Amino acid sequence: MGSEVASMQGGRRFEVTTQENVRLDRWLSGQLPGFSRSRWQKAIRSGEVKVDGQKVSPREMLSTGRIVEIAASALSMEDDSEHPPEPQRLPLDVLWEDDDILVINKAPGMVVHPGNGCRDGTVANAALAHCGSLPNLGDPLRPGIVHRLDKETSGVLILAKSVRGGAGLFEQFKERNLEKEYLAVIQGVPLDDEGTCEGKIGRHPVRRTRMAVTEDGRPAVSHWTVMGASMADNWACVRVKIETGRTHQIRVHLSEAGFPLVGDPLYGYRKNRSGGLSRKAERVLLHAARLTFHHPVDERKLTVEASIPMDMQPFWEEVCGG
């Protein structure tokens, strides 16, 4: 991981010794596990953590020989928000489970793990109650969590029930050795039956709560296919397969292409531009329908599907016949 090379006015200074590239926030969580990853992210953004003397982002990739400097303020500040989630008996739609993994159909409106003022009612809380315990995979706020879905997105979500399960799943997400398929309802009707979006995605330069297609963003690829459309009401049902998993990727890519997701005003949806069923949307109509991966322990190839949620079914029934 890293070796301490010097102290600095109450702070700490490390030389990275890891043989593989690793994100700064994850490296810090492993090197100094007393703080959660979200706490380290705050310290990095505030400049309390620097790499090679420079302020960087939590996503900065570390390699052997780089120097990480941690200010005393980052080490002494109380970790006020970081209390591991408690088990809560909440509805959980289990699609697949064994000793190493748990796959659920996440309900729309459910947050995956505590953070940003949300302390309970999350998938992590529900999964802890269901499983009894979940492994700490580097962040105590995210036991068992190996990937996320947005709060309003429904569908297939996989968690690790063991450390070996988490390691194997993290590797597959890192190497993109998974197949991820989503269903969505978009505003507008494309002229083409299918297409590919390849814009790089990064933080919006002005509106920091949004992502955007930017020149210095991270590579992202989304393939979409029209499943059916309502020309009269100006919306369409699409299937989207993604090669990468950037924050808000599908929402950003389809909005950039001129087709924001129904129910997504953050990325351009306007209620008065579509009619019929679209006027009743109460969330972003995006559903993680299918995930294909290899079991992290025995390497079986598994495909897990989550049926279309009730609020999206009428769209498919109207233009796709069910």
Nearest by Cα to 200 from 241, 247, 258, 239? 247
For the structural domain made of 94-175, what CATH number should be given?
3.30.2350.10
Q: Do domains 94-175 and 179-319 have the same CATH topology?
A: yes
CA-nearest of 116, 110, 113, 39 to 70 is 39
Rounded Cα gap, residues 162 and 320, in angstroms: 40
Q: What's the chain's Rg over C-alpha atoms?
A: 21
216 is an active site residue: no
Nearest to 26 by CA among 116, 126, 145, 120: 145
pLDDT for 117? 65
Q: Which one from 25, 100, 139, 150 is the annotated catalytic residue?
A: 150
Q: Which residues on neighbouring strands pair with residue 9, listed in sequence order? A: none
Question: By the 8 A CB rule, do 145 and 173 touch?
Answer: no
Quote the pLDDT of residue 1. Answer: 55
Residue 255's contacts (CB-CB under 8 Å, 6 or more residues apart) are: 261, 264, 267, 268
Q: Are 291 and 304 in contact (CB under 8 A)?
A: yes
- The HSE-up count of residue 153 (CA atoms within 13 Å, CB side) is 22
Q: Domain extents for the chain?
A: 2-76, 94-175, 179-319
Contact 301, 294 (CB under 8 A): yes
State how far the Cα of 179 lies from the Cα of 242, in Å rounded to an integer.
8
The tokens describing 250, both together, are: 């599908």
**What is the reported pLDDT for 206?**
80
Q: Residues near 224 by Cβ (< 8 Å), separated by ≥ 6?
A: 194, 195, 196, 197, 238, 239, 240, 241, 254
The answer to whether the beta carbons of residues 222 and 195 sit under 8 Å apart is: no
Kindly report the CATH number that applies to the domain delimited by 179-319: 3.30.2350.10
| Nearest Cα residue to 187 out of 311, 72, 286 | 286
Encoded amino acid at 189, one letter: V
Q: Write the single-letter amino acid at 253.
A: H
What are phi and psi for residue 109, nearest 5 degrees?
Answer: 90, -5
Q: According to the model, what pLDDT value does residue 73 have?
A: 81
Both tokens assigned to 249: 């990727």
Quick one: which of 28, 26, 21 has its CA closest to 48?
A: 28
Can you tell me the distance from the alpha carbon of 198 to that of 187, in angstroms, rounded to the nearest whole number? 20
CB atoms within 10 A of CB 106: 25
Structure tokens at 143: 């036991």
Q: Is 221 helix (H, G, I), strand (E, B) or coil?
A: coil
Alpha-carbon distance 130 to 235, whole Å? 39
pLDDT score for 80: 46
User: How confident is the model at residue 233, as a pLDDT?
Assistant: 97
φ and ψ at residue 151, rounded to 5 degrees: -50, -45
Q: At the topology level of CATH, where does 2-76 sit?
A: 3.10.290
Average pLDDT for consecutive 10-residue bins of the chain (322 residues)? 59 81 86 78 88 89 88 69 82 97 97 79 95 89 92 97 95 93 98 96 83 92 98 98 95 97 96 95 97 96 97 94 70
For the four alpha carbons of 224, 230, 234 and 235, in that order, the dihedral sign comes to negative
